[in-house]
Structure formats: C-alpha cells, structure tokens
Amino acid sequence: MLAERVSNPAHDGPDYVALGRLAFADDDFAATRDHWQSPVAACESPPHTHPKGYARDAAMHLTPAELDALRLSLSVAARSVLFSLPFAVAIAWLLTRGRFAGRWLLDAVVHLPLVLPPVAVGYVLLLVFGNNGPLGGWLRNNLGIQLAFTTAGAALATAVMAFPLMVRSIRLALENVDPGLEAAARTLGARPFDRFFTITLPLMMPGVIAGAVTAFAAGLGEFGAVITFVSNIPGITRTIPLALYTAIQSPGGDDQALRLAILSFVLGLIGLLLAELLARRTRHLLGR
C-alpha cells in the first residue's frame, strides 16, 4: 500500500513522508537512520579510539626527550644539594649555637623562600645574577661564568628554593645534640674545629642526611624559580616540571604529560621514603 501511494499519479504530489518511511524501511539505510536519529551520540563518539591498554603502554615508555628531562632534573638537583649543603650546615650551626644581634633577622631571611612565590625568587635571581646584574655581570666579565639561561643557573635557583629545607632539618638535629659533650671535649683541650668534626657533626648527621635527601627530592619538582631565571630551554634548563608544563600546553601532549606526572610522583615518593630510611639507619648506627 505504501508503494502504491507513492507511485499513484492521481495524487496531488509526491508523498515525501511516505518516501522517507520507504527509504528508512530498507535494510541498506538502517545504519544511516540510526546515525541521524542519535546526533548527540555521534558528536560524543571520539573520531579515533585507542586500543585497550593504550594509556598504560604509553605511560610505561619514556621518549628520548623525557629521558633527557629526567637526566637534567637529577643533575640539577644533585648539583644544587652539593653546592648548598656546606652553607646549610654553617647557617644551621650559626642559628643554633650563635649568640649575636640580628639572629632572628637572619633566620627570617633564610626561610623567606618558603613563603615567597617561586616566581618572585626567580625574578630576584634574574636581577642579581642576570647578565646585566651586579653579580651576574661581574661573574661574566671577569670569570667568564654565566648563570642566567644555563644549567648552572637552574641549579642555583633550585638550591635557593631548597635551602630552607636543609637548614631546618639540620637545625632540628643540632638542637638535640647535648652541649655538655662539646663542653667536656673543650675541657680536654679539643679545639673548636676538632669538637665540631668529631662530636657535633657525627651526632647531627641524621638531620644532615635527611635534609639533603629532602632537598634533592624537592629540587626535582622546582618550577617557578627555574623557569623565571633560566627559561625553558630543551636540553639545558627543561627539567621534568618544565617538560610537563610544555606537554600540557602542546596539542596532543596528554600521553607525555601523563608519563611525566607519574614519573614526578614516583621520584618524590622515593625521595621522601629514602630520606626517612637513611635518617633512621644513621640514628641506629649512632645508638640513638
């Protein structure tokens, strides 16, 4: 009946509703009908689908650029700790054992990076150690040392941001050292350096190790001060946080961002666990 109605010449005109029903009744147009009847589902379906386990496999394999960012992050963090650790020990001892005017001001300045925006710290470093800065210009003109936009500058920015963590940990350990032991050594004729290296330093070693490892782990994740002072240069200053930022800003960089985020979490967790483990081991060896 439907076909007769469609082809009936006596009809005033073609029955478009009947034509549509006839077309969609045919099996060849079933898929087309389903598609047009659910436009929302068609819009929501992704144009490309990944096979099962794609995200897991993508997160397990690091590209050469990501491995380079990992290598650079480890190098920058290690250099920052090696550079700042002696100063952290000296400042911690001065704040704990020293008695001088303005000690509270020195304490505030040392811990200032903990409360300042990292970008502000990086900007101050750029003003002071930049190529035209008072110290950066002198280092470049007289010693040929450039810090801005270099790996050494990234290590300096990381050291400044992690310095309060080391000082705080070492200071807490030093406060637990009995001053009477140092006084007894002094009565036996031990000089100040002898007392420090034979009594004080070994007893506060758990805090030194914990502070160094914690600062190393924190240095792996430093972003604001680094990108402000030394920019984001591949192979030179692009550490893991900067590479993660670049991946997030790049089209199609979701897989790379996922890998770098997982890597950051793993490295941070390992650093914190290692700091606690080494501190406990050192206290055990010291019989404490």
Tens digit of each residue's pLDDT (9 = 90 or more) over 58-87: 445 789 999 999 999 999 999 999 999 999
| Structural contact between residues 231 and 237, judged by C-beta atoms closer than 8 angstroms | yes
- Pick the more confident residue, 151 or 52: 151
Nearest to 222, CA basis, from 284, 167, 267, 257? 267
The percent of residues above 70 in pLDDT, for the chain, comes to 78
Task: Band the pLDDT of 186: cuts 50, 70, 90.
Answer: confident
pLDDT of 232 over the 60 cut: yes
pLDDT of 17 = 44
Nearest to 239, CA basis, from 146, 155, 138? 155
pLDDT of 30 = 45
- The secondary structure of residue 116, as a DSSP letter, is S
pLDDT of 16 over the 60 cut: no
- Pick the more confident residue, 172 or 32: 172
Burial of 257 (0-12, 13-18, 19+ CB in 10 A): middle
Residue 198 structure tokens: 């034979």
pLDDT of 178 over the 50 cut: yes
Mean residue pLDDT across the chain: 82
Helix, strand, coil share (%) of the chain residues, nearest 5: 75, 0, 25
- For 91-148, the pLDDT digits (tens) are 999 998 888 888 899 999 999 999 999 999 999 999 999 999 999 999 999 999 999 9
